[in-house]
Amino acid sequence: MRFMPTFVSSVGFAGIVLARSLLYFPYVLLSSRARADLFRQLYATGIRTLPVVTIVSIFMGMILSLQVGLELARFNQEIYLGAAVMLTLLREMGAFCCGICLAACVGSAIAAELGTMKVNDEIDALKIMGIPPERFLAAPRILALVMMAPIVAFYCCIMGAIGGGIVGATQLNVDFQQFMSGALWMAEGKDLFVGIGKSSVFGLLIGVISVCEGLGTRLGAVGVGKSTQRAVIVSFLAILISGYIISRIFY
Amino acid sequence: MSEKIIEFDSVTKSFGGKKVLDELSFSVSRGEIFVILGPSGTGKSVTLKHAIGLVEPDSGEVRRAPVRFDYLFQSGALLAWKNVWENVALPLEETMRLDEKEIEKRVSAALEAVGLSDAAEKYPAEISGGMQKRAGLARAIVREAEVVLYDEPTSGLDPVTAANIARLIRDLNRKRGVTSVVVTHDVVMASKIASRIMLVSGGKAVACLTPEEFMQSTEPEVRAFIEASRGENI
């Protein structure tokens, strides 16, 4: 139980950072200077992660399609392949894939950037200048993740479906058009909205965790490495745990 | 009696069981240039961080007058994704309601004062450590604060630039009445610009004297520091 005080203080710190950042969300949206920074963060979160997200989601769709297709083929039910893959993508894997990619690409970068700023006294310099780090650094990054995660998750679903369709057409004798028809037939609004909502929660968690790890960095370059590592690990755990809880609530 | 801007009252601070400040007491009056001298690792920078409120004492009290403070970090602490101009303009843009012309005027003046007008468009990674420190100094003075704390403002600078920085600190004090607290190892600079010099050793104030008294002091630790700085004991 030695880790309990650290865990409690970390959660408390995260709560304070989240509350202060939420207070600055309107400022980030309304101030032209802060909005420019928000656009930079949106670009870093969305556009710059696209290559990784594309590859990961296409291959995830291909793996899903192959495994599910092989089982369906045993019962001559390949016509349901598109529906099964799409349902899995919309409900779980799209948001999950998006969360993992954002944690690895964006969360780690945030933790490393803020951690380096912390050990170089830049965070203290901001405080002395009267610029709250939560307003200047945390809020634009967290807001960008919350805003961009649903778009990335939706993109993951589309890319995953394309990957699944390619495997269906080339290896399981399921026509691509038939795969897509099945996918669209089974997809429901609820699945889409729960998946999208879930990805926003993942974005929020990744943002808060990464910012907190960055701002809590100590002990120079070694500390920056540790903070970056912890940001990714804790984000992965948070994605898995919160993903299950949200699924349990809605299904 | 002049107004006290900063007062340390028996301040003690430890890090990891090691006492860095040990019942340190002193005060800085309005309009002074107060120089803190001492060997490395004796708590000079920690004293400065207490003075601005970045670190809280374990015991004792630090009292600050309700005036605007600014601070020059050892490294300059510039934001890597902003160029020199944007770094210097940052406190004006983010915390003061000034029009673009006024910001431009103040930033130009601050950069000129530290000799960095030609490097305004450069990013921190593109300039030397000394230039980063000067850019940090420009940012520290651009808000025209009443009190500026300098953490080793001349270390790592060539003698000419160091002399210019020392002159700038003195001019800010004479022309604008800026109260300054300067942490340094540079005895010569301290003797030229200081109103008072405090020597810190082992977290305690060994001496707190005027420059003339300091240079003529017979206190063994003061003498050892002065003689070492002149290279007499090599």
B2-47 confidence digits (pLDDT tens): 788 999 999 999 988 888 888 889 999 999 999 999 888 888 889 9
d(CA B97, CA B84): 21
> Model confidence at B153, in pLDDT bands (50, 70, 90)?
confident
Return the H-helix or E-strand segment holding B120: none
Q: State which residue of chain A sits closest to B54, comparing Cα positions.
A: A124
Among A116, A125, A136, select the one facing B73 at the smallest CB separation. A125
Instruction: State how far residue A125 is from chain B, nearest Cα, in angstroms.
Output: 7
Assess if residue B165 is contained within a domain: no
pTM over 0.80: yes
Nearest CA in chain A to B144: A129
B145: closest chain A residue by CA: A129
Rounded Cα–Cα distance for residues A205 and A209 (Å): 6
Q: Which two tokens stand for residue B197?
A: 């010099």
Is residue B186 domain-shared with residue B232, that is, in the same domain?
yes
For residue B206, the model assigns a pLDDT of: 86
User: Is the Cβ pair B77, A124 closer than 8 Å?
Assistant: yes
Same domain, B139 and B218: no
Q: Do A129 and B70 touch (CB under 8 A)?
A: yes
Q: How far apart are CA A117 and CA B77, in angstroms?
A: 8
Average pLDDT over residues B68-75: 87
The number of distinct structural domains making up chain B is 2
Residue of chain A whose Cα is closest to the Cα of B75 = A120
Q: Cα separation of A91 and A157, whole Å? A: 10
The answer to whether the CB atoms of A131 and B93 lie below 8 A apart is: no
Domain ends where: B92, B120, B145?
B145
Positive or negative: CA dihedral A190, A195, A196, A197: positive
Same domain, B153 and B37: yes
Nearest 10 degrees: CA dihedral of B42, B47, B49, B52?
A: -170
**What is the spatial distance between Cα B202 and Cα A18, in angstroms, rounded to a whole number?**
41
Contact state of A122 with B143 under an 8 Å Cβ cutoff: no
Q: What is the pLDDT of residue B232?
A: 65
Closest CA to B24 of B170, B223, B208: B208
- Is the domain of B131 the same as that of B202? no
Residue type, A214: G
Q: Is residue B219 part of a domain?
A: yes
Same domain as B136, residue B153: no
Please check whether residues B234 and B152 belong to one and the same domain: yes
Once rounded to an integer, what is the mean pLDDT over residues B148-173?
86
Q: Are residues B60 and B152 in the same domain?
A: yes
Query: Which candidate from B78, B95, B139 shows the least CB-CB separation from A130?
Result: B95
Which residues of chain A fall below pLDDT 70?
1-5
Shortest CA gap A231–chain B (Å): 22
Nearest neighbour of A120 by CB, restricted to B75, B90, B143: B75
The token pair at B149 is: 């704390």
Least Cα distance to A200 among A101, A99, A52, A97 occurs for A99
Domain presence at residue B40: yes
Q: Which of A200, A201, A206 is nearest to A141 (CA)?
A: A206
Q: Which pLDDT does position A9 carry in this prediction?
A: 82
Return the number of CB contacts < 8 Å for A and B.
44
Say yes or no for a CB contact (<8 Å) between B91 and A130. yes
Q: In terms of Cα–Cα distance, which of B127, B123, B111 is closest to B80? A: B123
Which of A122, A127, A134 would you mutate first to test chain B, the one with the most B CBs within 10 A?
A122
The whole-angstrom separation of Cα B131 and Cα B134 is: 5
Taking CA atoms, A47 is separated from A40, A54, A144, A148, A223, in Å, by 10, 11, 12, 10, 29
Other Cβ atoms less than 10 A from the Cβ of A122: the count is 23
Of the candidates A122, A131, A136, which has its C-beta nearest B77's C-beta? A122
Cβ within 8 Å, pair A125-B77: yes
Amino acid, single-letter form, for residue B178: V
Given A33, A120, A121, which is nearest B93 (Cβ)? A33
The parent domain of residue B135 ranges over 72-145
Residues from B contacting A (CB-CB < 8 Å) are 49, 52, 54, 69-71, 73-75, 77-80, 90-91, 93-95, 136, 139, 143
Owner of token pair 């700038």: B168
Instruction: Report the CATH number at residue B54.
Output: 3.40.50.300
Say if B171 falls within a structural domain: no
Residue B14 inside a domain? The answer is yes
Burial class (CB in 10 A: 0-12, 13-18, 19+), B6: buried
CA distance A35 to chain B (A): 13
Residue A131: its chain B contacts at CB < 8 A?
90-91, 94-95
Kindly indicate the confidence band of residue B234, based on its pLDDT and cuts at 50, 70 and 90: low
Residues B97 and B61 in one domain: no
Of B73, B80, B90, the CB nearest to A121: B73
- Does residue B169 fall inside a structural domain? no
Percentages of chain B per state (helix, strand, coil), in multiples of 5: 40, 25, 30
**Encoded amino acid at B58, one letter:** D
H-helix or E-strand spanning residue A150: helix A139-171
Decide: B116 and B148 in contact? Cβ < 8 Å.
no
- Do B37 and B111 sit in the same domain of this protein? no
Whether residues B52 and B152 fall in one domain: yes
B79 & B139 share domain:
yes
Q: What is the rounded distance in angstroms from the CA atom of residue A94 to the CA atom of residue A88?
A: 8
Is B30 inside any structural domain?
yes
Residue A173 confidence (pLDDT): 87
Shared domain check, B59 and B77: no
User: Residue B93: its chain A contacts at CB < 8 A?
Assistant: 33
Q: Who's near A62: CB < 8 A, 6+ residues apart?
A: A163, A164, A166, A167
B168 lies in some domain: no
Closest by Cβ to A129, choosing from B74, B80, B90: B90
Q: What is the pLDDT of residue B233?
A: 62
